Amino acid sequence: MIDVKDLIDQPEKYRASQEARGADASLVDQVVAADVARRAAISRFEELRAEQKAFGKRVAQAKGEEKQALLAEVKDLAASVKEAEAASNEAEAELLRLQRLFPNLVIEGVPQGGEDDFVVVKEVGTPRDFAAEGFEPRDHLELGELIGGIDMERGAKVSGARFSFLKGVAARLELALMQMGLDLAVENGFVPVIPPTLVRPETMQGTGFDVAHDDEIYRLERDDLYLVGTSEVALAGYHADEIIDVADAPIRYAGWSTCYRREAGSAGKDTRGIIRVHQFNKLEMFVYTTVERAEEEHARLLAWEEQMLARIEVPYRVIDTAAGDLGMSAARKFDCEAWVPTQGTYRELTSTSNCTTFQARRLNIRERQVKEDGTGSNAKKGGTRTVATLNGTLATTRWIVAILENHQNADGSVTVPEALRPYLGGLERFELV
């Protein structure tokens, strides 16, 4: 959630953020009005409660007819207190409702606009000239079938559209990618985690997903649990309602999990192959840190993603995602997109988001404040503040697409990127079967 106090202090900043997203800027005024109403309702309730307590003392001291008269007044006052309490609770609930509707405040410098208004930060590598090599590139599905690695037909038979079987060398390739990413994560202080893939609604909501209206989420109604589309969700909820120590160093987790997405808005898009499927595996970095170090940590996450892309030897570009294409929780997001030869374009392989304090405020994750000189705990006992959270992807099933297409040979075999060979028992080529 956004910081309501900060919004009230600097409403124009939040209005500009909404405009950059192409979202409703009037929501700022609604939050301000709701906060005014909440304060007034609380004040009214507290005044009546104080009056009620004072009346209680008078009744205790009164006798006879005076006491009876006061008791009648107390009865009316009690009803007013009850009404005022209900009004106060309603005002609190309305402010919370509006807070939950408000997306994160975008970071200064994020491009304005929608999906097509991203800014290219860099391009790395040069796409292969297959014509100069004398052959037409095959797409990843044809290659996957030739090497006995992808079976979409039986995936559909067993589970329906957008499901597949990865087998043989493709299954080994996915595991190799994930293990290589995990090794990189561990080298950089990440704790490996295999998290639950089913979470409670409060965890899903706390991460920034709208469980009531998000058609991408699978729900198990009987148990009121949700299948996650990323291990970010479980890892964000891991420290919910806790006070953690990030003063000296970030807390970094690398979550390895299966992920599920309904792809409700993708009818007719990427129906061939494994680019857009309902089930896939992913290695996700998740970080808790201080507000001051969040942008610095964001740069690190992007650098680690680029290290992984360099290891699989595919041309890629980094884009700064426009405000209107950011998710609810992200204040800034960088995507790494790999070149897909048969599509003649770049497709997203990784993304990394700085969610600032948005998720942690929803999930009540805080840190102890320190003195200005950096020593000890805050002079005010129990002083805490909200931490920042970030996430980024190190490997997913979709990477197989870029590897197969960029490293294919004229006969349909695929050369294994050198960095992956130790994870595949020294295998240098995926041969035809």
- Residues with catalytic function: 261, 276, 348, 351, 398
Q: Output DSSP code: residue 102.
A: S
- Measuring CA to CA, how many Å separate 109 from each of 120, 239, 363, 397? 13, 30, 27, 32
* C-alpha 208, offset from chain centre: 7
**From CA 386, how far away is CA 332, in angstroms rounded?**
18
Q: In terms of Cα–Cα distance, which of 260, 158, 180 is closest to 218?
A: 260
Phi, psi of 218 (to 5 degrees): -85, 130
Kindly report each contact of residues 264-267 with a partner whose C-beta sits within 8 Å and lies 24 or more positions away, as own/partner. Answer: 264/215, 264/216, 265/215, 265/216
**From CA 270, how far away is CA 278, in angstroms rounded?**
12
Q: In terms of Cα–Cα distance, which of 357, 311, 347, 351 is closest to 333?
A: 351
Which structure tokens are listed for 247? 């003063």
**Sequence-ordered alpha helix ranges (H) in 243-395:** 294-312, 358-363
Q: Output DSSP code: residue 107.
A: P
Which runs of E-coded beta strand occur in 309-412? 316-320, 332-340, 345-354, 366-368, 384-386, 388-396
Alpha carbon distance, N-terminus to C-terminus of the chain: 53
Which structure tokens are listed for 204? 């899903």
Helix/strand/coil for 231: coil
Q: Output DSSP code: residue 308.
A: H
- Measuring CA to CA, how many Å separate 105 from each of 102, 210, 267? 9, 17, 31
Which structure tokens are listed for 337? 């997109």
